[in-house]
Structure formats: C-alpha cells, structure tokens
C-alpha cells in the first residue's frame, strides 16, 4: 500500500465520519424544525427541542454552537428544500404561457401544506430586524428567492421586469394569505392564487417585452 493510498484511506474515513455527523445533525435539525414551527423562535427552548428529539440538552450543544446556530441551520435547511421544490416546477417542461399558473399553484399548495413551517421564516426575518446574528441567513435566503423569481421571469420572456420587485410582490401576497390561512381562512390559498395571478399579469404586461400568455408562437 503506497503512502498515497494511506492518505486516501484516512481521508475516506474522515469523510465517512463527518458524513455521519452531518446526518445526525440534520436529523436533530428536522426535529428542531418540528418544534420551532409550532412555537416560533422566541417560545421554543432548547429543552423543547431536546425532548422532542429524545436527546439530552447537552447533545444539542454538541452539534450546534448555540441557539442561534441551531436555528439558522434549521431555517436554511427547510428553506433550501422549499426553493428546490419551486425550482423543479420552473424546470419542468411546461409551456412558458402556463408557467405562471403552475408557479402560483405550487405556492398555493405550499401554503396549505407547509403553512406552519413558512411562518418560521417570517419569524426569523423579523428577528433579523433586531438581532444582526440573523442577517446573514435572511439575506442569503432572500437572494435565493430573488434568483428563483429571476428564473421564472427569464423563462417567461419578461427579461426587463425587475426580479427584486417581482419577488417582493409575490412575497407580500404569499405572506398575507399565509396569515389568513393560519388564522382559519380555508379559502386563503385560493385567494392567494387569484391575487398573485392578477398582480403577476399586471407587472409582466407593463413590461416592454412580449405580452403575457400565448406570445412567441
């Protein structure tokens, strides 16, 4: 066995080790998310999370620096998952003129299914207004979301619409109907679909690019 082989073997072992650690970390994060999405950032204690994970509090500190580290990790994790979902909608081979409807439907479904998780995002984003420790995650995720909208706009041919503005519009409507949904309105997802489609039509038709709908035939 050459020296190089030895090194490779060791590196492999180290990788397997850190991979195992990463898996456990993610497992803990998933449990933490389950707790956080019910209680929110401020009301969820490390003990809540530990109990739900069937683990001692100390174990959490073994995997995460502190509470902020744990929570930012959780938010990052669930939100990238959400973005991947949306990305896959945008990547599917759908006719450009139906992409808006697909996206809006996907978001409406996400309100229905993951409402409690989404509110955690808005909670953290608000916390960032007070605690700079959350600024990085928020900025990072928000950049990703803008990029997502960007992809949507370029796929539908509206390359001159400001992605930042379009993101803000969608986000505002999403947040609002999420709020309604969480306070009992079962029609909120449908309401989102309607209002989002409307606004999307307005801002894309104001663009000097191709008209929305069945253009570029």
Q: How far is the CB of 127 from DNA (least distance, A)?
A: 13
- Residue 51 corresponds to which tokens in the numbers above? 């109990």
Residue 110 or 127: which CB sits closer to its own copies? 127
Nearest to 75 by CA among 2, 21, 12, 128: 128
Give the start-end residues of each E strand in the chain: none
Q: How far is the CB of 3 from DNA (least distance, A)?
A: 14
DSSP secondary-structure letter at 157?
A: T
Residue 48 or 162: which CB sits closer to DNA? 48
Cα dihedral 197→144→131→55 (10° resolution): 100
What would the DSSP string read from start to end of 164-200? HHHHHHHHHHHHHHHHHHHTT-TTHHHHHHHHHHHHH
What is the three-class DSSP state of 46? helix
127 binds, among DNA, its own copies, none (CB under 5 to 8 A by kind): its own copies
- Residue 13 corresponds to which tokens in the numbers above? 């072992």
Place of tokens 């207004």: 129
* Sites of contact with its own copies (CB under 8 A): 39-43, 119, 122-123, 125-132, 135, 138, 162, 164-165, 168-169, 171-173, 176, 178-179, 182-183, 195, 198-199, 202-203, 205-206
67 binds, among its own copies, DNA, none (CB under 5 to 8 A by kind): DNA
Q: How far is the CB of 33 from DNA (least distance, A)?
A: 15
48 binds, among its own copies, DNA, none (CB under 5 to 8 A by kind): DNA
What is the three-class DSSP state of 162? coil
- Residue 97 corresponds to which tokens in the numbers above? 């003129």
Q: How far is the CB of 205 from its own copies (least distance, A)?
A: 7
CA distances to 98, 150, 180 from 187, rounded to whole Å, are 23, 29, 9
41 binds, among DNA, its own copies, none (CB under 5 to 8 A by kind): its own copies
* Sites of contact with DNA (CB under 7 A): 13, 17, 20-21, 24, 43-48, 54-59, 61-63, 66-68
203 binds, among DNA, its own copies, none (CB under 5 to 8 A by kind): its own copies
Q: How far is the CB of 5 from its own copies (least distance, A)?
A: 50
């Amino acid at each position: 066995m050459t020296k190089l082989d030895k090194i490779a073997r060791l590196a492999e072992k180290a990788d397997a080790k850190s991979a195992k650690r990463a898996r456990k970390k993610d497992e803990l994060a998933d449990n933490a998310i389950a707790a956080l999405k019910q209680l929110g950032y401020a009301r969820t204690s490390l003990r809540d999370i530990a109990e739900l994970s069937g683990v001692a509090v100390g174990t959490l500190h073994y995997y995460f620096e502190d509470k902020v580290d744990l929570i930012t990790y959780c938010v990052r994790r669930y939100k990238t998952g959400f973005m991947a979902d949306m990305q896959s909608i945008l990547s599917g081979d759908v006719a450009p003129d139906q992409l808006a409807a697909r996206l809006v439907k996907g978001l409406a479904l996400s309100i229905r299914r993951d409402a409690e998780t989404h509110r955690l995002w808005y909670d953290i984003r608000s916390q960032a207004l007070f605690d700079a420790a959350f600024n990085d995650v928020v900025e990072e995720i928000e950049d990703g979301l803008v990029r997502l909208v960007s992809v949507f706009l370029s796929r539908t041919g509206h390359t001159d619409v400001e992605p930042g503005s379009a993101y803000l519009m969608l986000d505002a409507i999403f947040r609002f109907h999420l709020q309604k949904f969480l306070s009992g309105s079962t029609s909120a997802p449908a309401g989102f679909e309607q209002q989002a489609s409307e606004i999307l039509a307005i801002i894309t038709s104001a663009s000097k690019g191709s008209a929305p709908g069945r253009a570029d035939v």
